Structure 1
Amino acid sequence: MTNPADGKKARREHARELARQEREAEKRRRKRNRLFLQSGIIVAVLAVVAIVTVVIVTSTTSSAVNPKNMASNGILFTGDGTTVSPVSTAALEVGSDPVATDTASLASTVNIVTYIDYACPYCQQFETTNSEQIQTWVASGEASLEIHPISILDRASLGTKYSSRAANAAVCVANYEPDQYLAVNDALFAQQPEENTSGLDTAALKTLVSDAGASSDEVASCISDKTFGDWVTSATELASDGNLASDTVTEFTGTPLILVNGQQYEGALDDADAFSAFVATVAAS
């Protein structure tokens, strides 16, 4: 005969086993849910990282553009006896260092290099005083001229960054219509705004450049889009850090910085005779 107590004991043990199995099943279900949740979070994070990376890379690569005809970060002009012509160079690859002008090929000329800011009144003094005679020397083949537009005076334009915008406009001309660069250079100084004013707006800049002779749609769009804005910033930083077109001058002292065969001119900016005498002295040395 079966003992009733044994039956109750068996039922209790069976119930306990069922409860244990249910607890184990619940643990496994919760574990799976945690894993699914963690995996989902990881996938979501990776997706966000991927999107952010694409945005950063896209924005970086799309805004970084180097201009043609400015491999040294300046535009170089030489002459053939009668005419001043820009020297053509290909646009450097993004991230490349500027390539210094090979002065060995210019050994028979006096090599004049200027670092200028289109918002700088002292640059205006030098340019309006000396531009004509420098271009005459270049046309005759006696000199070369290399102009480096930079922007150190954005603070003086009431937040409009006129210095950078004007430099970008000049670089647009160097890239698309380099034959018109000197005319645009002269026009930018002739119509230089007063310090601590907003300066010319974009529409006025485009009109100035067009009236000076660089009237292509490419130049106008380049000015509107600030295509070479990042390049201007980089070129300014390099010059300010002393990366100059000279073996002896390694300190940037402000604009205008004028080098003649690598020697810095520190005479009167509004005295054409003084600058001419300096050039003659350097040429004879």
Structure 2
Amino acid sequence: MTNGGGNARPSKNERRDAAREKARQLREEQKRRERRNKAILFTGIGIAAVAIIAVVAIIIVNSIRPPGPGPANMASDGVKIGQDLKAVTTPSLPAGSDPVPSEANAPNVVDIKVYVDYLCPFCGQFEATNAEQIESWVTEGSATVEIHPISILNANSQGTKYSTRSANAAACVANYSPDSFFAYSALLFSNQPQEQTPGLENKKLVDLTKEAKVKSASKIASCINDGTYNSWVTDATNRALKGPLPDSDVKKVTGTPTVIVNGAQYSGSLTDPNEFAAFVLQQSAAPTSSPTPTPSPTPTPAS
């Protein structure tokens, strides 16, 4: 029996077929949604990957700079300080070039070379013991001192690479204010941090340049903060560790401080100024009318 007016109720088979069709439509719609979501997901991943690659590339470019020329006044990989504590000026060392040995002293002027790491406690001992008498000899013109900053103790500064940062700071001073180098190097030692600490922050390294009364203070500050000569520090360190060391009998640096007087390595006490002064006197040229260092803690060069 059926209702009139075309409102016949669907049969059981018709209802089942309609349900199946509805289910099919739902399945198709679900598949379309899944395909859309997958496409969106992969697109997002692709964009994110491109962004990550771009960021990594920027970091690499900024952190691994191509080697540049070394600092001015350090063609020998060190700064040579002469009479009145004035630096001997030299052009910059081109990247990848071998260091140029400093011009030889007059026969009666002692040549002292010191390879130092500003984190090295033994370097600090040598500095505290001998800085005053070395300054006296150099000021009076009876000796020169050539200071070579290197970085062999980066692993001892909790990841901050203080040895490289401090050597770079010294190089920045050498480049822009060479006559302040002796004072700045002394300040790095008088403010020397202990090993296994982060070392001095760059801000403190900059503050010490003001205490050393540098010229071009703003340029030096930028140089320190930018790590301008970090690559040079690495290269100079590798050259010192590989050797040979110019103008000496020393094949290479095996530890710091490496102290060389007229070509011969000093291996005596780091805490006895008399012992070092005696070694300097022994290595000095035969006395002439110019002064020669005498073996006392704070000597006045004798005529």
TM-score (norm 2): 0.71
User: How many residues are paired up?
Assistant: 225
How far apart are residue 95 of structure 1 and its match?
2.3
Give, as a single letter, the amino acid of the residue that structure 1 aligns with 2:103: D
**Pair 1:69-2:96 in alignment:** no
C-alpha distance in structure 2 between counterparts of 1:251 and 1:228, whole Å: 22
C-alpha distance in structure 1 between counterparts of 2:116 and 2:208, whole Å: 18
- Find the counterpart in structure 1 of residue 92 from structure 2: 91
C-alpha distance in structure 1 between counterparts of 2:169 and 2:118, whole Å: 10
How far apart are residue 251 of structure 1 and its match?
3.4
- Find the counterpart in structure 2 of residue 178 from structure 1: 178
How far apart are residue 220 of structure 1 and its match?
0.3
- SS at 2:113's partner residue? strand
- Find the counterpart in structure 1 of residue 34 from structure 2: none
C-alpha distance in structure 2 between counterparts of 1:281 and 1:134, whole Å: 15
Q: CA contact under 8 A between 1:67 and 1:171: conserved in structure 2?
A: yes
- SS at 2:251's partner residue? coil
C-alpha distance in structure 2 between counterparts of 1:147 and 1:122, whole Å: 15
Give, as a single letter, the amino acid of the residue that structure 1 aligns with 2:249: T
1:130-157 deviations in Å (ceiling 9; x for gaps): 1111111111111111000000000100
**Pair 1:221-2:222 in alignment:** yes
C-alpha distance in structure 2 between counterparts of 1:195 and 1:247, whole Å: 30
- Find the counterpart in structure 2 of residue 205 from structure 1: 205
In structure 2, the gaps of 5 or more residues are: 1-56, 287-303
How far apart are residue 284 of structure 1 and its match?
4.8
Give, as a single letter, the amino acid of the residue that structure 1 aligns with 2:70: N
C-alpha distance in structure 2 between counterparts of 1:206 and 1:169, whole Å: 8
C-alpha distance in structure 2 between counterparts of 1:208 and 1:60, whole Å: 26
Gap change, CA 1:60 and 1:188, over 3 Å in 2: closer
In structure 1, the gaps of 5 or more residues are: 1-51
- Find the counterpart in structure 2 of residue 125 from structure 1: 125
Give, as a single letter, the amino acid of the residue that structure 2 aligns with 1:144: T
Aligned pairs for 1:99-110 (under 5 A) are 99-103=100-104, 105-110=105-110
- Find the counterpart in structure 1 of residue 49 from structure 2: none
How far apart are residue 116 of structure 1 and its match?
0.3
Comparing 107-116 with 87-96, greater Cα deviation is found at 87-96
- SS at 2:145's partner residue? strand
C-alpha distance in structure 1 between counterparts of 2:224 and 2:248, whole Å: 34
- SS at 2:74's partner residue? coil
C-alpha distance in structure 1 between counterparts of 2:267 and 2:129, whole Å: 15
- Find the counterpart in structure 2 of residue 6 from structure 1: none
When the two chains are superposed, the root-mean-square deviation of aligned CA atoms in Å is 1.8
Larger helix proportion of the pair: 1
Sequence identity of aligned pairs in percent? 46
Q: CA contact under 8 A between 1:177 and 1:214: conserved in structure 2?
A: yes
